[in-house]
Structure 1
Amino acid sequence: MEVTSQLQWNPVLADPTGVREAKPRTLGKTMVMDKGLGLLAFQDLLHTSGEHIDMIKLGFGTSPLYPLAVLKSKINLAKEHGICIYPGGTFLEVAVQQDAVDSYFDTIMALGFNGVEVSDGTIQMERRLRNELIGKGIAEGLTVVTEYGKKGWGSTIELNELIETVLIDRELGASLVTIEAREAGRGVGIFDEDGNCKDEELQQVLSAISNRILLWEAPMKSQQVHLISMLGPGIHLGNIAPEEVIALEALRRGLRSDTLALGARKE
């Protein structure tokens, strides 16, 4: 049988949940962490998984380590696929520490990045400066994603501080606020030293803040399953490994045994 461009999967097979939004979506965004993919691997990722990726973060301070031609090609490819691409927030923290913020913004604009992450996961940053960085990103026409939480082992969520951070960041124009979990997903934020979700803390956060404006870093499959099962396919998830994008999309749609119940037919 010849496969034609008109051939499509039955919608109840492609998405048993029946709720997955197409891009540009407002719910269920997926942020991929790129820690050094080569250009061919990056092209392959977007060719295979581009429809399931909303944001790509070039992890930590990796952005200046690429040949400029490769970096610009990756940025352009991401934008062609409707993806927000930005350097990791740690790189902006380096710029703050080195008193090179203006140079940082000049360069990311010249390169064509369409997003920026504002964080203070490693350094101490006054609220005034955080406000200025968010405002600078907005003024440049960038999508601003902020991050709450410290990267140190054992760091936790301070609820009142989180609420204040989210409310101010959003008022200033941040599109999403990321909840820190690092690339390992252990011993930080809502995850314990084994990577298990601290549900009581999670519920405390959600009792005060809408889940629609939070991006949860969840690099481990067990974390993704847990959060999707608790909060549904529309949860925003980040720090997803490039090779796990389609596997995560299958979880969101109830196409894996772990979340099959999400797509169960209602009688």
Structure 2
Amino acid sequence: MNFLSIPKRKTGNRVCGITSVIDLGIPLGVLQSILEDYSPYIDFAKIGIGTAYVTPRLQEKINLYKAYHVKPFFGGTFFEKCYHQNKLKEYVQTLNEFEIEWIEISTGTLDIPLEERLQLISMLKNDFHCLAEVGSKDNSFDMPVDDWKQEIKLLLEAGSTYCITEGRDSGTSGIYEKNGEIKSNLIHELIKDIDVNKIIFEAPTPRHHMFFINEFGANVNLGNIKLTDVLALEAERCGLRSESFFMEG
């Protein structure tokens, strides 16, 4: 159908308007069905937390995503576990073996110094597209706004393609309060000096989706999207939900 005035969505190999889903163990058969119908609305797939290490038929899953032009990558917790055990060399070898082209550099569980993360990106950016996650999974830690801004700026300058703002799959840390409320003042401060198209906001629930869509438009980058929410999110982006009803083309 093509008769309504709705926001114009980016299509094809999007560089903004990104939808990055989180895969926490969806079976291959179910994934195949979802991708057959909804893959045009999906850009990235994070094989979340450390599930890639224990996923059966992992290569088949990676190949399936790629067949539908979705970019797979491993969750940051897997990266941090390897960092903690001094296994980053083995981690990189694993990414190469599975032909994963994107790498997430995060510090959600470990407190990895910014300088080390910058060095890692500088070292890896020639072989991978880098995604740098900023913010802690510890919801008792309130990172100052200036630190958020400095880290994002420096990580992008070092060669990260995008920065991901931590929100967890529960929406209760990082850019969110413990109760799931959005730190809207933080978000507005971030985008004063940083290109919003270089940020992927983790937004695991419809309430979070709608905040970012209403603030930044249909083509805001969103991450940690549940596979079952992909179609509803696309409708939200197109002004086809009550909360985004008055968005027009």
AA aligned to 1:160 is D
**Aligned partners of 2:123 and 2:79: how far apart in 1?**
12
Aligned mate of 1:191, from 165, 176, 183 = 176
**Aligned partners of 1:163 and 1:143: how far apart in 2?**
21
Aligned mate of 1:148, from 111, 127, 134 = 134
**Aligned partners of 1:51 and 1:173: how far apart in 2?**
27
RMSD over equivalenced CA pairs, Å? 1.5
Do the aligned partners of 2:139 and 2:174 also contact (CA within 8 Å) in 1?
A: no
1:129 paired residue number: 116
**Aligned partners of 1:83 and 1:156: how far apart in 2?**
34
Within the alignment, does 1:231 sit opposite 2:216 as a pair?
yes
**Residues 227-259 of structure 1, C-alpha deviations (whole Å, 9 max, x = no match):** 111111111111000100010000001122221
1:173 paired residue number: 159
Within the alignment, does 1:36 sit opposite 2:21 as a pair?
no
Aligned mate of 2:107, from 107, 115, 120 = 120
**Aligned partners of 2:6 and 2:37: how far apart in 1?**
22
CA distance change for structure 1 residues 157 and 246 in 2, over 3 Å: closer, same or farther? Answer: farther
AA aligned to 1:246 is L
Cα distance, 1:103 vs structure 2: 0.5
Between structure 1 and structure 2, the one with the greater Rg is: 1
2:199 paired residue number: 214
Bigger drift between 129-138 and 146-155 goes to 129-138
Bigger drift between 94-103 and 38-47 goes to 38-47
**Aligned partners of 2:175 and 2:239: how far apart in 1?**
24
**Residues 93-116 of structure 1, C-alpha deviations (whole Å, 9 max, x = no match):** 111111110010001110121211
Do the aligned partners of 1:84 and 1:143 also contact (CA within 8 Å) in 2?
A: no
**Residues 159-209 of structure 1, C-alpha deviations (whole Å, 9 max, x = no match):** 2212221122112221110000101002x1232233222222221122222
**Aligned partners of 1:156 and 1:205: how far apart in 2?**
15
Q: Within 5 A, what are the aligned runs for 1:197-208?
A: 197-208=182-193
SS of corresponding position for 1:24: coil
AA aligned to 1:202 is I
TM, length-normalised to structure 2? 0.94
Cα distance, 1:136 vs structure 2: 3.6
2:168 paired residue number: 182
2:243 paired residue number: 258
Do the aligned partners of 1:219 and 1:239 also contact (CA within 8 Å) in 2?
A: yes
TM, length-normalised to structure 1? 0.88
SS of corresponding position for 1:77: helix
Aligned mate of 1:97, from 74, 81, 84 = 84
Do the aligned partners of 1:181 and 1:218 also contact (CA within 8 Å) in 2?
A: yes
AA aligned to 1:231 is F
**Residues 63-118 of structure 1, C-alpha deviations (whole Å, 9 max, x = no match):** 01012xx2111111212222221000111111111111001000111012121100
Do the aligned partners of 1:76 and 1:112 also contact (CA within 8 Å) in 2?
A: no
SS of corresponding position for 2:50: coil
Following TM superposition, the consecutive aligned residue runs of length 4 or more in structure 1 with deviations greater than 4 angstroms are: none
- How many aligned residue pairs are there? 249
